[in-house]
Amino acid sequence: AYQSRSTRDLKVLTVLSEDDMEKFILAARDVGFSHHPRADRHPLDEVTLYRFWLPVRETGLSTSLDLQVGSSEFHLSVIARAASVTLAGVRVKLATREDLILMKLVAFRPIDRADAIDLATGADLDKAYLELWVERLGLGERWREVCAALEL
């Protein structure tokens, strides 16, 4: 089973127009988030990653918010497959394990590789779905590396 790890960040995937994104940035700043456009990245062709930081006065640290905005076929699939849950009284949609694995394969930094291995451990993976998107996203070599680590 997946072993969670403690982080100080939040990842959000959404589909927003440019106008709505500008409104979101202004609203985030109004509640205390910092946003620096130079920190934004483009991990996939049709998706932009916006980075925000919220200082936590009690600790002197900050919490980051990574907002992925776009409408690629893959990201629309992630949103459509997400499971609705209630966290602290708020209804949210969480990406499936398979989609988290795929997003980790896209990033594939050492920590993402380790997360992908942890997420792929255990039963009940929709391997057909994973293999479909691994092929479409050109992630075959990375997926094979994860499978080799798991001896799948």
Q: For residue 3, is pLDDT > 70? A: no
For 92-142, the pLDDT digits (tens) are 899 999 999 999 999 899 999 999 999 999 889 999 999 999 999 999 999
SS3 36: coil
pTM greater than the 0.95 cutoff:
no
Instruction: Mention every residue, 6+ apart, whose C-beta is less than 8 A from residue 101.
Output: 116, 119, 120, 125, 130, 146
Selected residue with higher pLDDT from 61 and 119: 119
- DSSP per position, the chain: -------SEEEEEE---HHHHHHHHHHHHHTT-EE-GGG-EEEETTEEEEEEEEEETTTTEEEEEEEEEE--HHHHHHHHHPEEEEETTEEEEE--HHHHHHHHHHH--HHHHHHHHHHH-SS---HHHHHHHHHHHT-HHHHHHHHHHHT-
For 15-40, the pLDDT digits (tens) are 888 889 999 999 999 999 999 888 88
Could you list the beta-strand ranges (E) of the chain: 9-14, 34-35, 41-44, 47-56, 61-70, 83-87, 90-94
Q: What is the DSSP letter of 82?
A: P
